[in-house]
């Protein structure tokens, strides 16, 4: 079995490596030559525990090699980015271009699978594209969609143990795709059609977004009402059928903050809750900016000097270095640009050098600040002693009870 993975990023590269580890002959393809070169040298260009060693093993056993162009295989996997455009419309141009690249290599009996998070109907569109260029393949190849749901940092375990949803453009495609994933997935493989599988991935992340929006909305209500949000949620969750998530300073990352737009763009009239959740989670970051600004102004008026402000955390979630779509980073950027009346210190223990900001070490910032703003619940922050002598703006529950 020879498989060609188009896209060697956070998802494509680990999946290709795990498939090779299970005996598949893998061709890894990326249009970025430096990724291809680095990968062939056994260097991992992404951060993922344990993955570098597996990469070196599959290179040594000749089960994996990276290229900038596809090669003839038995199965093709599209794992390229699906960002959104300026107006929040999904951009499937990478999927289309990767599909066009493999079309000349497809032959009777091959499997073609899209793993990229995609708007509903993308797999059918790519099938149409394939058949328009290669009418000889109509009814002769298998086409399916199989979304990925791994947690970065735990990818080796989750790639093998998570259940997968697999949706073909017809039943034989679903079965053919299942027979491939059975090679390395120990979780259950759930059959459906391609549209349902596409929607399933979007639903999972939209569900998280809506639930976080509920917590974020409550946090703003409680702030106005003088109620401790963390105590409130803890008490409400004592109800056997209530499970409210924790609020934060917004929602970030390249999945939960992006994928719901793939639904709202195509179904604007029907997706009111999903669209509103996106608005609430975006608004929460602006609300945090206003809170910080107001406290800086009050401090300046009261003490007739600039406050020192510690902005704690830049990543989009706790204990990682990923800054993509991070509300903590956008709040900090906003404060740095708009508050000349404060000395801003920026702390991110998971990042050594930031492209734009000079970072301050945790102890210096925390010990010298007049205003401390907790934006991300990193473990280093929750180990700090609470300072009663400064203003603490705790947007992520670092000191839940205070």
Ligand X SMILES: NC(=O)c1ccc[n+]([C@@H]2O[C@H](COP(=O)([O-])OP(=O)(O)OC[C@H]3O[C@@H](n4cnc5c(N)ncnc54)[C@H](O)[C@@H]3O)[C@@H](O)[C@H]2O)c1
Chain position whose Cβ is nearest to ligand X: 9
Asked if 198 interacts with ligand X (CB under 6 A), we say: no
In whole angstroms, how close is the CB of 51 to ligand X at the nearest point?
13
Considering only 29, 126, 166, 311, the residue that binds ligand X (CB under 6 A) is 29
Judged by CB under 6 A, does residue 79 bind ligand X?
Answer: yes
Q: Is 32 in the site for ligand X (CB under 6 A)?
A: yes
Question: Could you give phi then psi for residue 98, rounded to 5 degrees?
Answer: -65, -40
Vertex 380 angle, CA 162 and 394, to 5°: 95
DSSP 11-54: THHHHHHHHHHTT-EEEEE-S-HHHHHHHHTT--SS--TTHHHH
Site string for ligand X, 325-364 (x = CB under 6 A): ----------------------------------------
Does the footprint of ligand X cover residue 7 (CB under 6 A)? yes
Q: Does 146 bind ligand X (CB under 6 A)?
A: no
Minimal distance in Å, beta carbon 14 to ligand X? 9
Strand, coil or helix: 139 = coil
Nearer to ligand X, 320 or 391 (CB): 320
Quick one: 48 or 348, whose CB is closer to ligand X? Answer: 48
Q: What is the DSSP annotation of 70-133?
A: ----SEEEE-----B-TTS-B--HHHHHHHHHHGGG--TT-EEEE-S---TTHHHHHHHHHHHH
Does residue 30 touch ligand X according to CB under 6 A? yes
User: What distance in Å separates the CA atoms of residue 196 and residue 155, rounded to the nearest whole number?
Assistant: 24
With CB under 6 A as the contact rule, the residue among 10, 180, 287, 395 that binds ligand X is 10
Does residue 35 bind ligand X (CB under 6 A)?
yes
Site map 86..125 versus ligand X, x via CB under 6 A: --------x--xx--x--------------xx--------
Cite the active site residues. 201, 255
DSSP 243-298: ------S---SSSTTTTHHHHHTT-TTT-HHHHHHHHHHHHHHHHHHHHHHHHHHH
Binding site for ligand X (CB under 6 A): 6-12, 29-32, 35, 79-82, 94, 97-98, 101, 116-117, 148, 152, 255
């Amino acid at each position: 079995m020879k498989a060609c993975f188009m896209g060697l990023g956070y998802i494509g590269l680990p999946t290709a490596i795990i498939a090779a580890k299970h005996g598949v002959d893998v061709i890894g393809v990326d249009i970025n030559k430096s990724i291809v070169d680095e990968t062939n040298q056994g260097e991992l260009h992404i951060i993922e525990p344990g993955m570098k060693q597996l990469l070196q093993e599959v290179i040594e056993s000749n089960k994996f090699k990276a290229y900038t162009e596809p090669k003839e295989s038995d199965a093709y996997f599209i794992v390229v980015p699906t960002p959104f455009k300026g107006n929040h419309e999904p951009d499937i141009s990478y999927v289309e271009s990767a599909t066009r690249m493999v079309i000349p290599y497809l032959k009777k009996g091959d499997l073609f699978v899209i793993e990229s998070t995609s708007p509903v109907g993308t797999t059918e569109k790519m099938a149409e594209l394939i058949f328009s260029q290669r009418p000889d393949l109509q009814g002769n190849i298998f086409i399916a969609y199989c979304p990925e749901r791994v947690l970065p940092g735990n990818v080796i375990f989750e790639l093998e143990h998570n259940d997968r949803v697999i949706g073909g453009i017809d039943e034989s495609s679903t079965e053919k795709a299942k027979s491939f994933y059975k090679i390395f997935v120990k979780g259950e493989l759930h059959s459906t059609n391609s549209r349902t599988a596409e929607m399933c991935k979007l639903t999972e992340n939209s569900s998280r977004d809506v639930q976080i929006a509920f917590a974020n909305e409550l946090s703003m209500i409680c702030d106005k009402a003088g109620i401790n949000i963390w105590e409130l949620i803890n008490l409400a969750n004592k109800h056997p059928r209530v499970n409210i998530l924790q609020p934060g300073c917004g929602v970030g990352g390249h999945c939960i903050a992006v994928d719901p737009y793939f639904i709202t763009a195509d179904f604007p009239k029907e997706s009111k809750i999903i669209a509103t959740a996106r608005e609430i989670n975006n608004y929460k970051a602006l609300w945090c900016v206003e809170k910080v600004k107001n406290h800086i102004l009050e401090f300046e008026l009261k003490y007739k000097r600039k406050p020192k402000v510690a902005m704690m955390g830049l990543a989009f979630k706790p204990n990682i270095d990923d800054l993509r779509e991070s509300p903590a980073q956008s709040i900090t950027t906003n404060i740095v640009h708009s508050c000349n009346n404060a000395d801003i210190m920026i702390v991110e223990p998971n990042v050594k050098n930031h492209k734009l900001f000079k970072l301050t070490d945790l102890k210096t910032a925390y010990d010298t600040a007049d205003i401390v703003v907790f934006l991300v619940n990193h473990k280093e922050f929750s180990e700090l002693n609470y300072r009663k002598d400064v203003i603490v703006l705790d947007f992520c529950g670092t000191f839940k009870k205070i």
